[in-house]
Amino acid sequence: MSGPFTRIRLIGLGIAALIAAIDQIVKWYVVGPLNLRSVQKIDLLPFFDLTYTENRGISLGMLQATNMEMRWLLVGLTAVIALIVLVWLMRERKLGDIVGLALILGGAIGNIRDRYVLGYVIDYADLHIGSFRPFLVFNIADAAITIGVVIILARSLFLREKDENSDGNTVPAEN
């Protein structure tokens, strides 16, 4: 590991830690001072509400943890995925990819902590247009994971094309 690569990896780890911390602080706020668990719903804007939800599954409610064994299986599965993302982040050399991976890692850590401590993930962000809801109720960790995945996909799809010259040979990417 040389100097600049170490620095950008540390930036990535810092972003992951910041996302996980912000996620946990907001979850504490909506459950604590806002008492969203009891209130269940707070109307904020015509298109955005706070709606308390306990997500016992993973993405899109799949693999519901209906018992303790399934809960710990989901904790283990998501921890393995987070570990793979961490290893990938530590091997990556491009800041753009590191940022995407850091968002995924930070979001995963926030949701893993919920599942480990509570047995479910706290979701609260309810984006809608009238009664149409383009997303399930989500949280900051979910949003960070989604944005991170979009960054990684966009960079792999669009930057790969720019890295190829007309002879079909690849040229090194700048960042």
Q: Tell me how far apart the alpha carbons of residues 150 and 169 are, in angstroms, rounded to a whole number.
A: 26
Residue 167 among the catalytic residues: no
Domain annotation covers residue 173: no
Domain annotation covers residue 38: yes
CB contact at 8 A, 121 and 114: yes
List, for residues 46-102, the tens digit of each pLDDT value.
999 999 999 987 765 566 677 788 889 889 999 999 999 999 999 998 999 999 999
Closest CA to 15 of 173, 147, 123: 147
Domain annotation covers residue 96: yes
Report which DSSP code applies to 75.
H
List, for residues 149-160, the tens digit of each pLDDT value.
999 999 988 876
Considering its fold, how many domains does the chain have in total?
1
Select which of 23, 97, 114, 142 is catalytic: 142
| pTM assigned to the model | 0.84
CB contact at 8 A, 138 and 57: no
Domain annotation covers residue 174: no
Domain annotation covers residue 157: yes
Domain annotation covers residue 146: yes
Domain annotation covers residue 77: yes
Residue 23 among the catalytic residues: no
Domain holding 58, by residue range, is 3-163
Select which of 123, 126, 163, 167 is catalytic: 123
Q: Where are the beta strands (DSSP E) in 30-160?
A: 41-45, 48-55, 121-127
Domain annotation covers residue 168: no
Q: Tell me how far apart the alpha carbons of residues 14 and 2 are, in angstroms, rounded to a whole number.
A: 18
CB contact at 8 A, 22 and 125: no
